[in-house]
């Protein structure tokens, strides 16, 4: 168990994330959905992928699926039609294996991107024939899944770094800065002289991590510097990093060195925000 100013059972969180990863990989639901059962759906329109998650009424994980996509840039939907097509496919896939219709969902946006971005996300969800109950900011969604009352969530998205600070259950600060996984991809592409799609694939290749990470280390250090300068010296702990762009062995040590405090990365951090989004899909 991780113990700081605010205790979080990181082992229990990792167990849930491991279980969810198995659900995603199996392409099958954890269990059948009962007739008339209330379910919750989350939609995460990310820069590199679109993720759909389904929970039961008690926030137990039922199903998850995703597709890689290039429809969002820096937290803003830049290809509306592709976003709707992909989300519709994910919805149909989920409905087929669950045996129920998904009628509602929640979405999310990077903090500070405005009502316009939230409206576009809601429109994408509704164009996929689900009523959009709410659009939350991504780091707050992550904190919901983590059950974090006091601490700092740093959500490294594809195009932005979102920072949410919580104190005794209250959100006290939320900031979004334009540096994320896409900027790592640009550095890799520039170094090897390859297009972004090839650079993105190279970034995801775990067997090349020792070669790739030294190239993107300055980007990670910049992300940590942004957090340090934004939050200040009295940073609320624990500091939890989430998002697919943090899946490097040296990410946390590098981030922690710059920040000057311990940093924690749950397993499968790319699923934390989508699961937290689904938890907000209720009356």
Domains and CATH numbers, the chain: 10-136+270-280 (3.30.420.40), 143-267 (3.30.420.40)
pTM of this structure: 0.85
pLDDT tens, position by position, 92-109 = 999 999 999 999 999 998
Q: Which residues of 16-32 are buried (b: 16+ CB within 10 A; e: fewer)?
A: bbeebeebbeeeebbee
Half-sphere exposure of 68 (CA within 13 A, CB side): 5
pLDDT band at 196 (very low <50, low <70, confident <90, very high): confident
Q: Which two tokens stand for residue 211?
A: 């070669």
Residues 25, 128: Cα–Cα separation, whole Å: 23
pLDDT tens, position by position, 68-78 = 877 666 556 66
As a whole number, mean pLDDT of residues 24-51 equals 89
pLDDT tens, position by position, 118-148 = 999 999 999 999 999 999 988 889 889 999 9
pLDDT for 90 equals 97
pLDDT for 48 equals 75
- 96 DSSP 8-state letter: H
- For residues 111 and 276, the model is more confident at 276
Nearest 10 degrees: CA dihedral of 199, 159, 140, 24? -30
Give Cβ neighbours of residue 267 (< 8 Å, ≥ 6 apart): 14, 17, 18, 21
pLDDT tens, position by position, 105-120 = 999 988 777 788 899 9
Residues 33, 252: Cα–Cα separation, whole Å: 38
């Amino acid at each position: 168990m991780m113990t700081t100013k605010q205790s979080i059972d990181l082992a229990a969180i990792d167990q849930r994330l491991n279980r969810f990863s198995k659900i995603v990989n199996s392409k099958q639901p954890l269990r059948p959905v009962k007739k008339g059962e209330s379910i919750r759906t989350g939609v995460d329109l990310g820069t590199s992928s679109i993720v759909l998650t389904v929970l039961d009424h008690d926030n137990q994980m039922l199903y998850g699926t995703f597709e890689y996509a290039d429809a969002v840039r820096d937290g803003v939907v830049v290809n509306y039609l592709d976003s709707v097509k992909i989300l519709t496919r994910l919805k149909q896939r989920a409905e087929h294996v669950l045996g129920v219709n998904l009628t509602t969902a929640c979405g999310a946006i990077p903090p500070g991107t405005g009502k316009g971005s939230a409206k576009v996300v809601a429109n994408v969800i509704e164009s996929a024939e689900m009523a959009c109950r709410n659009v939350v900011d991504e780091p707050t969604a992550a904190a919901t899944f983590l059950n974090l009352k006091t601490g700092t969530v740093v959500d490294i998205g594809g195009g932005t770094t979102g920072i949410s600070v919580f104190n005794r259950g209250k959100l006290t600060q939320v900031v979004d800065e334009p540096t994320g996984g896409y900027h790592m991809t640009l550095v890799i592409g520039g170094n090897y002289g390859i297009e972004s799609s090839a650079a993105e694939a190279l970034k995801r290749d775990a067997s090349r991590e020792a070669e790739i990470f030294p190239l993107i280390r300055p980007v990670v250090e910049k992300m940590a510097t942004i957090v340090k300068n934004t939050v200040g010296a009295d940073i609320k702990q624990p500091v939890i990093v989430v998002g697919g762009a943090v899946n490097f062995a040296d990410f946390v040590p590098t981030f922690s060195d710059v920040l000057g405090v311990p940093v924690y990365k749950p397993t499968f951090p790319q699923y934390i925000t989508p699961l937290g989004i689904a938890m907000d899909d209720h009356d």
